[in-house]
Amino acid sequence: SVMGFVEPLKRLPELLRIRRMVFRHFRDNPPDVFLGIDSPDFNLHLEQKLRRCGVRTAHMVSPSVWAWRQGRIRKIKRAVDLMLCLFPFETAIYERHGIPAQCVGHPLADEIPPHTDRAAARAGLALEAGGKLLALLPGSRSGEVRMLAPLFLQAADLLWRENPQLSFVIPAANDSRRDELTQILAAYPQLPVTLLSGRSREAMAAADAVLLASGTATLEAALLRRPMVVAYRMGHLSWWLLSRLVKTEYAALPNVLAGKALVPELLQDAATPAAMVSTLQPLLAEGGAAQQQVQEFEAIHRNLRQDCAVQSAAVLARLAARDQEVT
């Protein structure tokens, strides 16, 4: 629930205590395989210690070693018997370092059908069937909402003044985020906004375009075939550190997967309401910019739809059986 460089330090004693507790449990009750899912700063250390105790270890969701902190690959080699990658391009990185890796595809690509019905999504959310709808997703963490939601709503207000037929939907990740968003929305009583509790996927499916924070939601929007603009801001110190460590050209997953600037990225100082408006207008007009994004999203979906659950279960079963070779 914490993200960044500086922010987790405030919770460090708690996080270390939890990790020690988990390690002691599995050291004393060794499983056939320990699978760490994501959270690499928490799980890789845990996996390394358990592996030293004779436990076979696997990790699902490769850390973004292709983007930053490439030195982590050495720790990964010590920590895991197998890396389960969600993206096809990641396995080559592990092969170069002699780490067994398997691309299993992305579970979201299996969950989300190739075609989603916008009208049905709007009906399910009790939204008006006609008119343009923009989904606003300023993130699931308090810090993200605090930084991004006011900017998103300023952009929405500018767009609405140009097109009063435009309406908006904002899914709140939980009750705390809903309370925060309700307070921020009080400054825009005239704006036609529907605030939802959860249901972010339905909100994006119902929309004509999406303005959202960088993160996994960008991939979800791509798999839903919804044109998007990605924006993000973080604390100045965290941004200063991150901008010096990141080695990839793109932040948004659709751009990383496409290998080009497919969707607009507005990061830190570039994430202004005016920039959001200028990049969203062509997408809401449903012209060539929107269609180009959608066509590329279709190709991304095909590449990631690999029956992730079945593939993961099969390779983990082989690892549990102590097979020497995992393919």
Residue 138 has pLDDT above 90, yes or no: yes
Please tell me the distance from the alpha carbon of residue 60 to that of residue 322, in angstroms, as a whole number. 18
85: part of which helix (H) or strand (E)? strand 82-85
- Does the structure show a pLDDT above 80 at 325? no
Contacts 24+ apart (CB under 8 A), 125-129: 125/169, 125/194, 125/196, 125/199, 125/202, 125/203, 125/206, 127/167, 127/169, 127/194, 127/206, 128/167
Per-residue pLDDT tens digits for 42-87: 999 999 999 999 999 999 999 988 766 677 899 999 999 999 999 9
Q: Is 34 left (phi over 0), alpha (psi -120 to 50) or beta?
A: beta
| Per-residue model confidence as pLDDT tens digits over 210-232 | 999 988 899 999 999 999 999 99
pLDDT at 247: 67
In contact, 151 and 189? CB cutoff 8 Å: no
* pLDDT at residue number 245: 65
Residue 273 in contact with residue 151, Cβ under 8 Å? yes
Measured CA to CA, the distance from residue 274 to residue 150 in angstroms comes to 13
Decide if pLDDT at 113 tops 80.
yes
The model's pLDDT over 176-201, given as tens digits with 9 standing for 90+, comes to: 999 999 999 999 999 999 999 999 99
Sorting pLDDT into bands at 50, 70 and 90, what band is 327? very low
Q: What sign does the CA torsion over 233, 239, 240, 245 have?
A: negative
- Under 8 Å between Cβ of 134 and 156: yes
Cα angle value 58/6/36 (rounded, 5°): 10
- In percent, the amount of the chain with pLDDT more than 90 equals 79
More confident residue, 267 or 326: 267
> Model confidence over 244-253: pLDDT tens digits?
666 677 889 9
Q: Which pLDDT belongs to residue 322? A: 75
Among 80-84, 150-154, 231-235, the minimum mean pLDDT is found in 231-235
Length of the chain: 327
- DSSP reduced 3-state for 209: strand
